[in-house]
Amino acid sequence: MFRWLVMLATLLGVAGCGSERAADDGRPLVVATTTMVRDLAEQLGGEAVRVVGLMGPGVDPHNYVPRMSDTRLLEEADLVLYSGLHLEGRFQSTLEAMAKRGRHVVAVSAGVPDERLLAPQEDFEGAKDPHFWGDPALWSLAVEPVVGALRKIAPDDAEAISQRGEAYRAELAALDRWAREKLAQVPEDRRVLVTSHDAFFYFGRAYGFKVRGLQGVSTAAEAGLRDRTGLVEFLRAQGIPTVFTETSINEKGIAAVAREAGVKLSPEPLFSDALGEPGDMARVDGESCDRGTYTGMLKHNVNAIVKGLE
């Protein structure tokens, strides 16, 4: 089936209208699924590789349906990077099939030991909670498999890639320290994070927050009346002042819960399953940060949570 799609895309000429091929400058091509994985590849690969992301800002990877143009990119790629743990939903089976055919396909979550992964709150295709980037210490563990994969396709730049990996791990460690200091401003009795879906359990474990979502770990199923009623009762009982929307999920459900519970809806949505637009700058503690990067996204989230709950 996958090979048939490749042939069809070639015949119809619809695989991105050749835009990515036209941009080919001789560097190895890395195709990344999510925006977080794309940013990781860019941070570590630098100018040694050409990185193309399949999913853009605001795209929910749980429900992503590959386009015909994705087919050509995947076939042309020297390396395909994806998050894994079924974050990409059914698309993961396509990527696993590519790996079995001998293609260079790597799940960045492979760097995280199984014992450090969380079980989801409900049955999630037998996998662990895929939102591990909520904890910078765990996201730093994704660096090693990506560095190893990039070194293989760009051997002339292997040493520089390793150096970028070390520097990025140090940056993530500093980000973690900053987040802990900033989040300490939230009183302990207010450290309850309520969002559109269960994407923040790793964040909660890392920084001492209780976490509750309207939808489960995956957004494939809509929240039912029982879910909404239960969350409204929880908000009233806990006295939580603010709930948060997410950039990759329609805010309608959580906004209705906020109205019924009589709590505020944060004016700053959180980034959960996708980063912002590259170059989307914000000021955090007097420092400019790009919400189109992982570090900028986390700084935005921390700042929004502190403002909403302190």
What residues does each domain of the chain span? 2-175, 184-309
pLDDT digits (tens, 9 = 90+) for 32-84: 999 999 999 999 999 999 999 999 998 999 889 999 999 999 999 999 999 99
d(CA 302, CA 291): 12
The two tokens of residue 49 are: 């590789």
pLDDT averaged over the chain? 87
Tokens representing 172 are: 């993530």
* Closest alpha carbon to 302 in 120, 119, 136: 136
What are the CA-CA distances from residue 169 to residues 12, 166, 174, 236 (Å)? 44, 5, 9, 41
Confidence (pLDDT) at 275: 97
Whole-number pLDDT of residue 226: 55
* Angstrom distance (rounded) from CA 93 to CA 89: 8
Q: List the structure tokens of 251.
A: 């805010």
Q: Which one is predicted more confidently, 288 or 293?
A: 293
**Is-above-0.75 flag for pTM?**
yes
Q: Which residue is listed with tokens 């019924």?
A: 260
Residue 228: its pLDDT value, please? 77
Range of 122-136, 181-195, 226-240, 241-255 with top mean pLDDT: 181-195
Question: Could you tell me which of 260, 255, 230 has the C-alpha nearest to residue 244?
Answer: 255
Residue 83 has a CB neighbour count (10 Å cut-off) of: 24
Q: Do 2-175 and 184-309 agree at the fold level?
A: yes
Confidence tier at 284 by pLDDT (50, 70, 90) = confident
- What integer pLDDT is reported at residue 220 of this predicted model? 43
Above pLDDT 90, what percent of the chain?
Answer: 68
Percent of residues, the chain, with pLDDT higher than 70 = 87
Whole-angstrom CA distances from 43 to 39, 167, 281, 298 are 6, 10, 17, 16
In sequence order, what E strands does 186-299 have? 192-197, 210-215, 242-243, 264-265, 281-284, 287-290
Judged against a pLDDT cut of 80, whether residue 6 lies above it is answered with: no
CATH number for 2-175 (one of 1.20.1740.10, 3.30.530.20, 3.40.50.1980, 3.40.50.2300): it is 3.40.50.1980
| pLDDT > 60? residue 302 | yes
pLDDT of residue 250: 79
What pLDDT does 152 receive?
98
CATH architecture group of domain 184-309? 3-Layer(aba) Sandwich (3.40)
Give strand ranges (E) for the chain: 29-32, 50-53, 79-82, 105-107, 192-197, 210-215, 242-243, 264-265, 281-284, 287-290
pLDDT at residue 23, rounded to an integer: 64
* DSSP tag of 270: B
